[in-house]
Amino acid sequence: MKHNLRMVKISGVSGIGSRRQRQAAFTLVELLVSITFLVILMLVVTQVIGIVQRTWVRANSRVSQFREARKAFDLLSQNLSQATLNTYWTNDLQQLSSDALGQAIQTPTSYKRQSELHFICGPTTQVLSGATGTNYPGHAVFFQAPLGVVRTDNKGSVNTANLSNLLCGRGYFVEWGSDQFYRPDFLRQAPYDQIVPVRNRLRLMEWSPTAEMNDIYSSAFRNNPNNIRQWYQDQTTGALTGEVQSGDDSAAAAGRYFTRPIAENILALIISPQTENTNTSSGVVSANVYDIAKNYLYDSALVGTATSTTSAQGTQHLMPPMLKVTMVALDERSGEFLSSADNASTQSKVMQGISSLFTSASNYTADLEGTPDSPGALKTLLLGAKLNYRVFTTTIALRQARWSY
């Protein structure tokens, strides 16, 4: 009797435990709901990771591209700050008569400024012969500076390696074109010439002949005022004719050609010559700092805008005391988008839009960024084309301007 009761109690305990175990398990519906939530969570996480990755790649590309643009901008600014004209005073002679040998008898009447060097900047299509259409947006600048860059392959000639202050010509401008002739030699040979496609880009070009190839003192150019610009656009070593335009290998091209790209995806270069102040009481005729180059064009060989009430030469044989330099750069993705054949209409619109801007210095702000209430024309153009860009701007004081002359 006692044994049977004990067995009933054990059986009863065993039944209660089984019910508790069945109550603690998940049902099929609960598992399906849990899996559904897990799948949704994984999809959200995957999308977030994808967005973060794309953002990082885009930001890294933009930072990397703008780093190269910053280096090129710093190089341009550093070289421009060393520009010189070596201006001096000379007598302005008046001929009185001739002697028995036919030689002129002259007498000095006044002093005038003189220089054998040259400084010029302005819209590229006006400064560079042959730079036409929309392939050369923005401005160009050409000048002389004591940079001391010499040839290193002149064996048997005068050793100029230690002459660090030799006078060199320099020039900068933006050009649209391919990298076909700037590639390493192996990329121009089969099969790599077909595997790696040619890249069309807007590039900041530097014209940098060595001191031995400086034509500024050439009598063929100096004796004729109409040929003064030929020192930087000579038929063989000029800024455009000196570009690599054939299938020469890189070693041969390095010895003959002096124009090379120093940065890609540079949309425009804007250079505005300016005076240091606008105080009309100090003798300056204009109240605007940019009036010495109202249309951005400044040529030191020409009689320019008068800088005082007594200056007959104006800005002739003078460099501007200040240069406001602006460079507009695209990131790599925007540069690739602009060069794609599928976006030819956008490319044409952007290039034509830039070519129509920066022709009047008084419209600089309206052409570039504008104001918070009225965005600039360039900003509107680039944002409308969904291009990411950055603007680099600095004001350079030319130490050798000698504006008091």
Backbone angle region of 279, left / alpha / beta, with phi > 0 → left and psi within -120 to 50 → alpha: beta
At 29-66, the pLDDT tens digits run: 888 888 998 999 999 999 999 898 888 877 776 666 68
pTM here is: 0.78
> Which of 41-55, 157-171, 184-198 shows the highest mean pLDDT?
41-55
Tell me which range, 76-80, 211-215, 343-347, is most confidently predicted by mean pLDDT: 76-80
Helices and strands (H, E) in the chain, number of each type: 10, 11
Q: Supply 302's token pair.
A: 């020409």
Exposure string (b/e) for 392-404, b if CB count within 10 Å is 16 or more?
beeebebebbbee
Residue pair 329/267 in contact by the 8 Å Cβ criterion: yes
Q: Where are the domains of the chain?
A: 70-92+106-397
- Model confidence band, residue 223 (pLDDT cutoffs 50, 70, 90): low
Q: Which helix (H) or strand (E) holds 45?
A: helix 28-80
Distances (CA, A) of 61 to 69, 93, 281, 331: 12, 62, 51, 7
Instruction: Find the helix or strand (DSSP H, E) in which 71 lies.
Output: helix 28-80
CA distance 224 to 295: 25
